[in-house]
Structure 1
Amino acid sequence: MRLPDMPLHDPFVVADDKTRTYHLYTSNDPTVSGVDGTGTMVYRSHDLRDWTRPVVVFLTAEQDGIWATDGGWAPEVHAWDGRYYLFTTLHNQDKPLPVPPPDQWGTPFQLPNHMRGTVTAVSDSLLGPFTAVDPGRPTPPEHLMTLDGTLYVDPSGQPWMVYAHEWLQTIDGTMEAIRLTPDLTGTTGDPVFLFKASDASWLGEGIPAGVPHQLAPYITDGPQLYRTPDGSLLILWSTYEKNVAGRDGTISGGYVQTYAVSPSGDLTGPWQQHRPLVREDSGHGMLFHTFDGRLMMVLHRPFENARGKLYEMQFLGHELRVLRRRADLDGGG
Structure 2
Amino acid sequence: MISTKEIQIRDPFVVTAPAEGRYYLFGSTDANIWGPGTGFDMYVGENLESWEGPFPVFRPEPGFFAERNFWAPEVHLYRGRYYMLATFRRSDNNLLGTAVLAGDSLEGPYRLHSNGPVTPESWCCLDGTLFVDGEGLPWMVFCHEWQQVTDGEICAVRLTEDLQAAAGEPVVLFRASQAGWPTPFRSERYPGQDNYVTDGPFLYRAADGALLMLWASFIDNTYALGVSRSTNGSVLGPWEHEDEALFRSDGGHGMLFRTLDGRLMLTVHSPNKTPHERAFFLEVEERDGWLRLLEGRGE
Q: TM-score, normalised by structure 1?
A: 0.81
Of residues 286, 289, 293, the one that matches 1:318 is 289
| Offset of residue 301 of structure 1 | 0.4
Give 1:194's aligned residue.
Answer: 173
Give 1:59's aligned residue.
Answer: 59
Give 1:165's aligned residue.
Answer: 144
- Contact residue 39 and residue 56 of structure 2 kept, 8 A: yes
Give 1:224's aligned residue.
Answer: 202
- Contact residue 228 and residue 317 of structure 1 kept, 8 A: no
The aligned amino acid for 1:255 is Y
Are 2:105 and 1:125 aligned?
Answer: yes
Give 1:250's aligned residue.
Answer: none
| Unmatched 5+ stretches in structure 1 | 97-113, 208-212, 243-252, 327-333
Q: Deviations over 1:87-138 (max 9, x none)?
A: 110003x534xxxxxxxxxxxxxxxxx321111110111111101013x521
> What is the SS of the residue equivalent to 1:169?
helix
Give 2:279's aligned residue.
Answer: 308
| Offset of residue 144 of structure 1 | 1.1
CA RMSD of aligned residues (A): 2.1
> What is the SS of the residue equivalent to 2:182?
helix
Q: Distance in 2 between matches of 1:206 and 1:72?
A: 23
Percent identical residues? 41
Of residues 117, 123, 126, the one that matches 1:138 is 117
Give 1:247's aligned residue.
Answer: none
| Unmatched 5+ stretches in structure 2 | none
- Contact residue 229 and residue 318 of structure 1 kept, 8 A: no
User: Compared with structure 1, are the counterparts of its residues 194 and 310 closer, same or farther at alpha carbon in structure 2 (3 Å cutoff)?
Assistant: same
User: Compared with structure 1, are the counterparts of its residues 205 and 84 closer, same or farther at alpha carbon in structure 2 (3 Å cutoff)?
Assistant: closer
Give 2:45's aligned residue.
Answer: 45
Q: How many pairs were matched up?
A: 286
| Offset of residue 225 of structure 1 | 0.1
Higher helix share: 1
Give 1:13's aligned residue.
Answer: 14
Give 1:273's aligned residue.
Answer: 241
Give 2:92's aligned residue.
Answer: 95
Q: Distance in 2 between matches of 1:206 and 1:129?
A: 37
Q: TM-score, normalised by structure 2?
A: 0.90
The aligned amino acid for 1:95 is D
> What is the SS of the residue equivalent to 2:196?
coil
User: Compared with structure 1, are the counterparts of its residues 220 and 205 closer, same or farther at alpha carbon in structure 2 (3 Å cutoff)?
Assistant: closer
The aligned amino acid for 2:28 is S
Give 1:110's aligned residue.
Answer: none
> What is the SS of the residue equivalent to 2:238?
coil
User: Compared with structure 1, are the counterparts of its residues 26 and 205 closer, same or farther at alpha carbon in structure 2 (3 Å cutoff)?
Assistant: closer
- Contact residue 164 and residue 220 of structure 1 kept, 8 A: yes
User: Highest CA radius of gyration, 1 or 2?
Assistant: 1
- Contact residue 301 and residue 307 of structure 1 kept, 8 A: yes
- Contact residue 13 and residue 24 of structure 1 kept, 8 A: yes
Give 1:149's aligned residue.
Answer: 128
